[in-house]
Amino acid sequence: MEDKYINDENDNENVVNSDGRRRSKSVSFHSSASISISDRRVSSVSDCWRCMVRGNTFVKIRANARTYQRYFSLDEDLSFIRWVPSSKKPSKACISIDSIREVRHGKTTEALRAMKDLPLSFTADCAFTILYGENFESLDLFASSPEEANIWVTGLNALIGVQLNSTGNTDEQSSARERWLREVFEREAPSSSETLMDAETALELMQKLCGEGTANRIRQKLAEIDLQKADDKKGRIDSKEFIEIFKEISTRPEIYFLLIRFSNKDYLDLEDLQLFLEGEQGLACVSKEQCIEIIKQYEPSSEARDRNQLLIDGFTRFLLSEDCDIFDQTHLLVCQDMTQPLSHYFISSSHNTYLLEDQLRGPSSVDGYTRALQYGCRCVKVDCWDGPDGPVVCHGNTLTSKILFSDVMATIKEHAFEASEYPLIILTFF
């Protein structure tokens, strides 16, 4: 059943269902939707705070099941959350950061769990609750997306959990990451009074630090920076630009939000890591010695290692490592009963093994067989056709290129049992 939402700045109209029955109130006041998250790359607590200062439209839930759309923002001095419009005085439509006791993510209160008439897009990961005051009053909110909810939960938890300096910046842990990156940059950059690194060296270094699959994004960021430079400085970057690009490319928001959720700060200490491993990863009896070993193995900053702290880059490396792989490592080796008849097994097979691209006009190559066999494939396909100098392998009646049948057989002989000792099936069509 479709509902009508009445726009009203004076907060005195009801929402009615299409059959005319009155139901929960919802007030809309803001002409535009919340600012798109896609334009905001979150790589630090400061990024979250900047988004919060700009503000978002949330659905505010009352205990009586009434709903209101309100525009929430964080004061620039990071001291109050305020919302508009409101029938309250401006001094009342706000919450002091000092008064916040806890920030919860998800439908954790009765008021949120009782809501049945919200749009389907308002899922549990869009909900969060702010508990504040001596009596633990509850402010229950729905964001328009899980990303918005994560930004506010992360930012608020950081505000109540991290000791701020007089300028309102995060503590020195963000600097620890930057100091590590600056050391890496200066170690690789040529020595000069004005230390600059050429774009190709920066690309290779960032790829080495970030991992594979980031080259195009790094090139794009380097090109964007070049557009703002004078001709004599194009193609080179300084350490500050290197750090900014690296942080934007390498920081995965979902991992950063997870780190903050378990630590309320920009790093995991031993207790935080222990809680994460036991509470999130389901490990039992994790010792602090095990946590220290993880930090030593995955944290790239020597400064953080010495402090037994796991920064965002070390945490990301750990989560993407084999230690956190969902794949059961025992299955890297054959662990099944291999004495059954051949028809009892699923067999890793390759279709049109010789094709490297499309099957209409792409190239054929023996490299396709090499790759398939090295991946452990146990069934390959060979399409044989008559050629001017003997049989050839190709996709018949198409424009794909041709390779010699003898070359295919020689390649199969060379690589057939590199990855597996089990029988190889060759499907040959003439």
The answer to whether residue 351 is catalytic is yes
Q: Contact 243/221 with Cβ under 8 angstroms? A: no
Contact yes or no for 225/234 (Cβ under 8 A): no
Which residue type is seen at 16? V
Let me know if 331 is a catalytic residue.
no
Whose CA is closest to 13, among 31, 29, 2? 29
Residue 385 φ then ψ, to 5°: -135, 155
Instruction: List all residues 6 or more positions away from 354 whose beta carbon is below 8 Å from its beta carbon.
Output: 364, 365, 366, 368, 369, 381, 382, 383, 393, 394, 395, 403, 408
For residue 337, the 8-state DSSP code is -
Q: Which is catalytic among the residues 30, 331, 344, 351?
A: 351
With vertex at residue 278, the alpha carbon angle to CA 274 and CA 281, rounded to the nearest 5 degrees, is 115
Q: Which residues pair with 177 in a beta bridge?
A: none
Peptide bond into 90 cis (omega under 30): no
Distance CA 186, CA 191 (A): 8
Please say whether the beta carbons of 206 and 116 come within 8 A: no
| C-alpha to C-alpha distance for 171 and 133, rounded to whole angstroms | 26
Using DSSP, state whether 73 is helix, strand or coil.
strand
Spatial contact of 403 and 364, defined as CB atoms under 8 Å apart: yes
**Following DSSP, what letter does each residue of 207-242 receive, concatenated?**
HHHH-TT-HHHHHHHHHHHHHTS-GGGTTEE-HHHH
The C-alpha atoms of residue 352 and residue 383 are separated, in whole angstroms, by: 8
Q: What are phi and psi of 189, to 5 degrees?
A: -75, 150
Q: How far apart are CA 30 and CA 57, in angstroms?
A: 8
Distance between alpha carbon 340 and the CA centroid of its chain, in Å?
A: 43
Residue positions annotated with a catalytic role? 351, 395
